[in-house]
A and B are shown apart, each in its own frame.
Chain A
Amino acid sequence: AQSVTQPDIHITVSEGASLELRCNYSYGATPYLFWYVQSPGQGLQLLLKYFSGDTLVQGIKGFEAEFKRSQSSFNLRKPSVHWSDAAEYFCAVGARNTGTASKLTFGTGTRLQVTL
C-alpha cells in the first residue's frame, strides 16, 4: 500500500526567506505525486503534480517541487515566501495501476506560518 510522510507538522519562516517542505512517499513503482494547499476554512487547491519526465516540476504561485526517486522524496520549494503563503500544505501520492482514476493517499500536512 502507498503512504506519504510529511515529517514537519509546523514550520515558521520569515517573509522573503526561502522555503522547503518535505515529503517522502512509499510506493512500489513510480507514483503520481501532488502538492495541494489549503487556506483556512477553504478546500484544497492543487499547486503542482508530477507524472513523468522532468523531475523538477513548476507550479502555481511560484512553487516548484523535485522528484527524487533515489530518496523517495518530492519536496516543495519556494525561493521567497510571501505572507499570503501561510496555509497548510499536503503532499499526496497516487498509484498508476488503479483503473479509471488514481485514488490519492495524503500526508498529514505541514502548517506554514509566515512572520513579517
Chain B
Amino acid sequence: DAEITQSPRHKITETGRQVTLACHQTWNHNNMFWYRQDLGHGLRLIHYSYGVQDTNKGEVSDGYSVSRSNTEDLPLTLESAASSQTSVYFCASSATGVGETQYFGPGTRLLVL
C-alpha cells in the first residue's frame, strides 16, 4: 500500500544545530507539504512543493528550508534550531489538482533545548 513516512519520529537537539527531518511518500504525488502543529495554532504551513525542483514558502517559513530533488522526498531543514521551533512536524502529499486530498505522515516530535 502507498504511504507517507517521516523520520525520525522523535528528535532532541540543541539550539543552533542544523536539523533535517525526512519525509518520503510512495503515492507518486507531485505535491508535498510541511506543517507544524502547536497548541492553540492548529497546523500551519511551512513550505510546499508542486514538483521536482519546485519549492514555495508557506505561512511560517522563517528558519526553515526544503529542497525537492525527486518525487518521493521532501526533507525539511532547520538551519539553526531555535527553542521556538520545538513542535510537532507533519508532512503531507497530494495528487495534482485543486482540492485533492492531502495524506499525512505520522509526524516528528522535535524538542530544541
| Residues of chain A whose beta carbon lies under 8 Å from any beta carbon of chain B | 4, 32, 34, 36, 41-46, 49, 51, 90, 94-109
> With contacts A43-B90, A43-B107 known, is A101 near B98, CB below 8 A?
yes
| Residues of chain B whose beta carbon lies under 8 Å from any beta carbon of chain A | 30-31, 33, 35, 40-45, 48, 50-51, 58, 90, 92, 94, 96-107
Query: What total count of A-B pairs have CB within 8 Å?
Result: 72
Tell which of A36, A103, A108 touches B48, judged by Cβ atoms closer than 8 Å: A103
Assess the B98–A98 pair: CB atoms within 8 A: yes
A41 and B37 CA atoms in complex are apart in Å by 12
Which residues of the partner chain A approach B33 to less than 8 Å between Cβ atoms? 103
Tell which of B35, B50, B100, B104 touches A99, judged by Cβ atoms closer than 8 Å: B50
Assess the A103–B97 pair: CB atoms within 8 A: no
Assess the B41–A100 pair: CB atoms within 8 A: no
